[in-house]
């Protein structure tokens, strides 16, 4: 093994990323070194590429970006047990503390001290990644590296979709980005009756229809309220999964939910967003904010579902060698892509 590696770095404040040669990370006694094979480009990476207000506030420079990955363990710290060299893996990109009340209660995803690889700490867009062994998630043989590289966003989709019981329920997903599409596929897999997904981007709605057995609705052309009787539903949707951060989408969701409906919110509005609270009160709606994945219950559930027929492979629309990362980011920036995977092998 050489001690230099390729890495995609935000070298200084401003747009873009640059491929650099960086030292292979040294691991501590509780870490593993992972040879990265495939990585997914996330919406978060696009914010960092574009260097918007959030990125400028949050991301230190220089920083190796990226947090969606699959690879293989090539080195283990002396305290690491239960893992093996050559083990294929993905991993949780949130590095948690062990001292907060939430962590000590086992609710690791609620730890307020969380730091993210590729956002606050050195990331996965590189030939090698250092990760605490605690964060490693082993990949079974029947989950390929391409899918391993998108388990992080699939985890967001699974965490959101499984926030409420979906068996026999009518589910509305607002926002047909890759996570919305995967959430719709999970809702279908989890036994929902009708799954409707909305957007104003027809390419994404078409992709949703290819990935899962869902009813895509372009709300720029079709009134969501007409879809309810067309599908034979009497009152409206039982569960809403808000994945867009778009105010009109949330309004439509509240409007078309049944009395006592439930909403899981993953989409992030760009700023403050007016909400018709009286409507929510009088409809007795429950709202749950969703962050990250449950560590490690969501990982367990999603891998089990992948082994039990959940197929999200078609959400990956573009694959590029890591050196052609600009093409990958261009595809993401076009707004016409699903997941984009970079190959580091």
In the complex, which residues of this chain contact Zn ion (CB under 5 A)? 42, 68, 152-153
Among 2, 39, 47, 317, the active-site one is: 47
CB of 203 vs Zn ion, minimal distance in Å: 21
CB of 225 vs Zn ion, minimal distance in Å: 33
* Cβ density class 65-95: b for 16+ within 10 Å, e for less: bbbbbbbbbebbeeebeeeeeebbbbbbbbb
Nearer to Zn ion, 80 or 117 (CB): 117
> How wide is the angle at C-alpha 41 spanned by C-alphas 1 and 121, nearest 5°?
60
Nearer to Zn ion, 285 or 302 (CB): 302
Q: For residue 79, what are the CA distances in angstroms to 24, 127, 342?
A: 20, 24, 32
CB of 48 vs Zn ion, minimal distance in Å: 11
Nearer to Zn ion, 152 or 238 (CB): 152
How distant is the alpha carbon of residue 211 from its chain centre?
A: 16
Q: Which residue is nearest to Zn ion (CB)?
A: 42
CB of 2 vs Zn ion, minimal distance in Å: 29
Nearer to Zn ion, 69 or 128 (CB): 69
* CA separation for the pair 37, 344 (Å, rounded): 5
Q: For residue 311, what are the CA distances in angstroms to 27, 166, 213, 224, 327?
A: 35, 18, 11, 27, 26
* CA separation for the pair 286, 183 (Å, rounded): 19
Sheet holding 195-199, edge to edge: 215-218, 195-199, 171-174, 237-242, 257-265, 286-289
Nearer to Zn ion, 111 or 152 (CB): 152
DSSP 222: S
Nearer to Zn ion, 150 or 172 (CB): 150
Among 39, 44, 65, 198, the active-site one is: 44
CB of 208 vs Zn ion, minimal distance in Å: 19
Q: Are 205 and 216 in contact (CB under 8 A)?
A: yes
* Closest to 265 (Cα-Cα) out of 164, 131, 190: 164
CB of 42 vs Zn ion, minimal distance in Å: 3
Question: Is 44 labeled as catalytic in the residue annotation?
Answer: yes
Question: Is 47 labeled as catalytic in the residue annotation?
Answer: yes
> For 181, how many CA atoms within 13 A lie in the half-sphere containing its CB?
26
CB of 159 vs Zn ion, minimal distance in Å: 12
Pairing assessment for the beta strands 195-199 and 215-218 based on DSSP bridges: parallel
DSSP labels, 280-315: HHHTT-EEEE--S--TTHHHHHHHHHHHTT---GGG
* CA separation for the pair 217, 234 (Å, rounded): 18
Report helix, strand or coil for 80.
coil
Catalytic residues: 44, 47
């Amino acid at each position: 093994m050489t001690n230099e590696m390729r890495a995609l770095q935000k070298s200084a404040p401003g747009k873009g990323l640059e491929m650099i040669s960086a030292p292979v990370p040294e691991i501590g006694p509780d870490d593993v070194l992972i040879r990265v094979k495939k990585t997914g480009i996330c919406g978060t990476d696009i914010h960092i590429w574009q260097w918007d207000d959030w990125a400028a506030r949050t991301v230190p420079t220089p920083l190796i970006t990226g947090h969606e990955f699959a690879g293989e363990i090539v080195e283990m710290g002396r305290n690491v047990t239960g893992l093996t060299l050559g083990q294929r893996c993905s991993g949780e990109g949130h590095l948690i503390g062990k001292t907060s009340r939430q962590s000590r209660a086992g609710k690791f995803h609620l730890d307020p001290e969380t730091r993210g690889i590729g956002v606050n700490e050195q990331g996965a867009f590189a030939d090698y990644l250092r990760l605490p062994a605690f964060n490693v998630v082993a990949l079974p043989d029947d989950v390929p590296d391409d899918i391993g590289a998108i388990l992080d966003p699939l985890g967001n989709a699974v965490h959101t979709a499984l926030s409420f019981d979906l068996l026999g329920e009518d589910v509305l997903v607002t926002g047909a980005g890759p996570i919305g599409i995967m959430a719709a596929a999970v809702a279908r897999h989890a036994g929902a009756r009708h799954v409707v997904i909305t957007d104003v981007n027809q390419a994404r709605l078409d992709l949703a229809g290819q990935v899962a057995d869902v009813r895509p609705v372009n709300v720029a052309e079709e009134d969501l309220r007409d879809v309810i009787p067309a599908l034979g539903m009497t009152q409206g949707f039982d569960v809403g999964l808000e994945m867009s951060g778009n105010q009109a989408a949330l309004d439509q969701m509240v409007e078309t939910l049944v009395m006592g409906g439930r909403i899981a919110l993953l989409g992030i509005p760009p700023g403050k967003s007016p909400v018709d609270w009286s409507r929510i009160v009088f409809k007795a709606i429950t709202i749950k904010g969703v962050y990250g994945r449950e560590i490690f219950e969501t990982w367990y559930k999603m891998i089990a579902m992948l082994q039990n027929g959940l197929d999200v492979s078609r959400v990956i629309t573009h694959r590029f060698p890591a050196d052609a990362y600009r093409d990958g980011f261009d595809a993401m920036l076009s707004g016409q892509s699903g997941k984009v995977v970079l190959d580091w092998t």
